[in-house]
Amino acid sequence: MRLSVAPFDLVPEFAFNIATGGDLNTSHHVLLCLEYEGLTGMGEAVPVTMYGQSRAETMAFLESLRGHDWLKTATPFDMQAFWSWMDTVPGQLPAKSALDMAMWDLQGKVLGQPVWRLWGLETSQPFESAYTIGIDSLDEMQRKTELALGRGYTILKLKLGGDTVARDQAILTSLRQCVPADVPFWVDANTGWTFDDFVQLLPVMMDTGVALIEEPFVAGVGANRRCEAKHLAPMPLVADESCHTAADVVAVREQVDGINIKLTKCGGLSKAWPIVHTARACGLQVMLGGFVETSLAVTAMAQLAPVADFLDLDAALLSGNDPAEGMRWAGSRFTLPDVPGLGVCLTEPLGFQ
Ligand SMILES: [Mg+2]
């Protein structure tokens, strides 16, 4: 296989803020191509600053692989050898995920099958994803919410936890006034709340139709409190920042009802698949999510949509300069491409080298 790469800066449609802060308003990615027997597999590396990852580090790692003998002689089906090698390399999850993605894309293209079919999955029904409203002034959050409703989004995920409990209460009550009762809210506090914050907010969340809560607690909240919160909340609690690997799933299983899988957290589709099954074995539900990503990475994650309970795959809908097309959207609903590989094509030349 021959590797080529292209840097890409993804810019969101609207300014995007969450409780943990950081600049989410330009995201520095690497798109890559693996060529094999006249076919091209594509992958996207999504370095996340919060996890200490950077495009420079990702590019340097990919450059170091380019002339490697293994890559020159391997086929896209050599997954065990690929991961036996990659598991010896510390970190580099964005690059590993992108390479794994490109290998799955190639496998599908060689076999003439969509990637979801290689796993025996069913995609006859459309899927439904949440659409995220980032932290902003109340007026701006209202404006974005009305815009989202106008675009046909039927699950709204609200970023909270950025300021005070009173402000989160105000966001929930004021947005509910402009959102029909049949459109559920999901809430993502991104580790923004203490246990007391959570207890104060729970009645308001119940009154305003919050159907799911993601990563409520600051890191210092202990396991007993987290278990207590799970028993207090009638809606599912989902671990995101506190759950990256299959081992993390086992560690948090008593504290949450579900886990959020992201390719950059786990290292790729090949790593996501066993995490799904670990979660099932622990009696947990599965959410699929992502960071700020193009349609390439989102459509890759969406290949597993048939086995998920909750989908938060709006990253490409939030972007202002998506250079790719993949899954097909109608409001919050999407269908997966029924074509070989991931079913993603680029809509602009990116200058792969
Ligand atoms: Mg989250």
Distance 85 CA to ligand 1 centre (A): 30
Distance 188 CA to ligand 1 centre (A): 6
Distance 262 CA to ligand 1 centre (A): 10
Distance 214 CA to ligand 1 centre (A): 6
Alpha-carbon distance 222 to 188, whole Å?
19
Is residue 40 within 8 Å of residue 110, measured between CB atoms? no
Distance 352 CA to ligand 1 centre (A): 31
Distance 338 CA to ligand 1 centre (A): 29
Q: What are the structural domain ranges in the chain? A: 2-117, 123-343
Distance 349 CA to ligand 1 centre (A): 32
Q: Which residues have CB under 8 Å from 194's CB, separation 6+? A: 217, 218, 221
Q: What pLDDT, on a 0 to 100 scale, did the predictor assign at position 26?
A: 78
Q: Which residues have CB under 8 Å from 102's CB, separation 6+? A: 32, 33, 34, 41, 42, 43, 76
Tell me whether strands 131-133 and 156-159 are parallel, antiparallel or unpaired.
parallel
User: In tens digits, what is the pLDDT along the chain, a chain of 353 residues?
Assistant: 999 999 999 998 887 777 776 556 679 999 999 999 999 999 999 999 989 999 999 999 999 999 899 999 999 999 999 999 999 999 999 999 999 999 999 999 999 999 999 999 999 899 999 999 999 999 999 999 999 999 999 999 999 998 899 999 999 999 999 999 999 999 999 999 999 999 999 999 999 999 999 999 999 999 999 999 999 999 999 999 999 999 999 999 999 999 999 999 999 999 999 999 999 999 999 999 999 999 999 999 999 999 999 999 999 899 999 999 999 999 999 999 999 999 999 999 899 99
Distance 149 CA to ligand 1 centre (A): 21
Distance 177 CA to ligand 1 centre (A): 24
Distance 172 CA to ligand 1 centre (A): 18
pLDDT tens digits for 203-259?
Answer: 999 999 999 999 999 999 999 999 999 999 999 999 999 999 999 999 999 999 999
Distance 187 CA to ligand 1 centre (A): 9
Global pTM?
0.95
CATH of the domain spanning 2-117: 3.30.390.10
Architecture of domain 123-343: Alpha-Beta Barrel (3.20)
Element (H, E) at 157: strand 156-159
Q: What pLDDT, on a 0 to 100 scale, did the predictor assign at position 18?
A: 73
Distance 11 CA to ligand 1 centre (A): 19
Distance 325 CA to ligand 1 centre (A): 24
Distance 256 CA to ligand 1 centre (A): 14
Distance 1 CA to ligand 1 centre (A): 35
212, 198, 199, 197: which is closest to 156 by C-alpha?
Answer: 212
Is residue 319 within 8 Å of residue 11, measured between CB atoms? yes
Is residue 253 within 8 Å of residue 280, measured between CB atoms? no
Q: What pLDDT, on a 0 to 100 scale, did the predictor assign at position 24?
A: 63
